[in-house]
Structure formats: structure tokens, C-alpha cells
Amino acid sequence: MKKIITVSIVDDEADLRKHIAGYLAAAGNIRCISTYASAAEALEHLPHDKPDVVLMDINLGGMDGVECVRQLTPLMPESQVLMLTVFEDTEQIFRALAAGADGYLLKRLSPKKLLEAIEEVRNGGSPMSAPIARKVVQSFKAVPARGDESVDLSPRERSVLDGLAEGLAYKQIADQLGVSIHTVRNYIRRIYEKLHVCTRTEAVAKFLRK
């Protein structure tokens, strides 16, 4: 029997929250334990709910979903966050990933695909809707080489960057290194600063070109 995966939903559309909760309940091994309409409610309650997976919209009233993820990440290091949104522009995608999101899905995906993505992210994957994955690849190809400048990364930082280059999720990197997800995210922030980049894709692209 599959282990139950607990899920919380953060979206300001009441009907959508109700619909998603409904077909999660029908899945059998996935249970919706809470729903919230705003980032403020999510920040107040999610650290106590401790869901396995959070479905997070970007376009929330007040604080947006990306900033909510950024603040939730150190409070909930064992939870995975899937962005579930209508936005598919590159800037929003990389803002979300840099903030700590583990996957990025478009709301128009089928219920079946959403259930598969929830199981995938809980098992260490980083699911993305096909159009989003294409944009990530295109952005990766577009990052220019930055020459032969020397970058002083520690052995542990290089190990983290190796994991990113292999497409590993933060949890997988943390497990490989025997550290917490929060520690991995701290390494990644330092890597961004040293490489003078703002996104995971730029960091990996620059790393592979050295």
C-alpha cells in the first residue's frame, strides 16, 4: 500500500482550491490537509501543517507566491513546493526556482498529470510542464560564455553545483551530501554570489562552460 502524501493548496480562487482538493481526495494515496487563499495565511499555518507537498499559485493578493516560497523554505525544509500557475514567462519561472520551488506546473495540466507530478516531486524529482521545460532549455542555451575568470568555489559548493548540473532536486543533493535542504539552499546562494548569476540555469551554464 502506498504511503499517503499530504498536500496543502495556496490559491486565491476558492473554486479552484475546491476542485483540486476534490480530485486529490479521489486519488487514494494523496490527501489535501489544508487550503489557504493568501500568502499571509500560508506563512502563518503551513509550518504547523507540515504538508509533504505545497501547491502554490504565483498571483496571490498582497505578497505573491514566489516571495511566499522564499519565506517558507527555511521554515519547512522537508516539504516540497510545486508552483501551480498560469504564468509561463521565463522571469517568473526562474524567480520561483531561485526562491526554492521544486517544480513548476501550468494550471491547464490534467488532473492525472498533477497527481503524477505530486508523486514525482515527493520522490525527489523536479516536475515541470512541457512548455516550461522547453523555456528552461532555451534559456540554458542562451546563456553566454563568461570567459576564463577564476571562481573560488569550495569543494562542497562544487559538489552542489555538480548535482545541479545533473538535474538533481535539492532534496537529492542534500541526501547525497548528508546535509539538510536548508544547508543546500545556503550553498546555492553563495554559488550565485560567487558566479555573479541570479538563476540555477545561469549557474549551471557557466559551470559547464569553464
CATH number of the domain bearing residue 195: 1.10.10.10
Comparison of pLDDT for 125 and 118, the residue scoring more:
118
88 and 174 part of one domain: no
Band (pLDDT 50/70/90 cuts) for residue 131 is confident
Q: Is the pLDDT of residue 143 over 60?
A: no
94 and 39 part of one domain: yes
Q: What is the pLDDT of residues 56-87, one digit of tens each?
A: 999 998 899 999 999 998 899 889 999 999 98
Comparison of pLDDT for 94 and 62, the residue scoring more:
62
107 and 197 part of one domain: no
Taking the C-alpha atoms of residue 39 and residue 31, their distance in angstroms, rounded to an integer, is 21
119 and 57 part of one domain: yes
The range of the structural domain enclosing residue 187 comes to 145-208
Comparison of pLDDT for 102 and 130, the residue scoring more:
102
Instruction: Choose the final residue of a domain: 89, 123, 140.
Output: 140
Domain of residue 10, CATH code: 3.40.50.2300
150 and 168 part of one domain: yes
40 and 81 part of one domain: yes
Tell me the residue type at 171. K
The rounded percent of the chain whose pLDDT value lies above 90 is: 38
Q: How many structural domains compose the chain?
A: 2
Band (pLDDT 50/70/90 cuts) for residue 209 is low
Grid cell digits, residue 77: 525544509
Highest-scoring range by mean pLDDT, 30-39, 59-68, 128-137: 30-39
Q: Is the pLDDT of residue 134 over 50?
A: yes
The chain-wide mean pLDDT, for the chain, equals: 83
Q: Is the pLDDT of residue 98 over 50?
A: yes
135 and 154 part of one domain: no
CA distances from 100 to 56, 67, 70 (A): 12, 10, 6
Band (pLDDT 50/70/90 cuts) for residue 100 is confident
Taking the C-alpha atoms of residue 118 and residue 37, their distance in angstroms, rounded to an integer, is 20
Q: What pLDDT is recorded for position 197?
A: 66
135 and 165 part of one domain: no
Instruction: Choose the final residue of a domain: 114, 140, 166.
Output: 140
Q: What pLDDT is recorded for position 132?
A: 78
Band (pLDDT 50/70/90 cuts) for residue 148 is very low
Rounded to an integer, the average pLDDT of 88-104 is: 83
Taking the C-alpha atoms of residue 142 and residue 133, their distance in angstroms, rounded to an integer, is 14
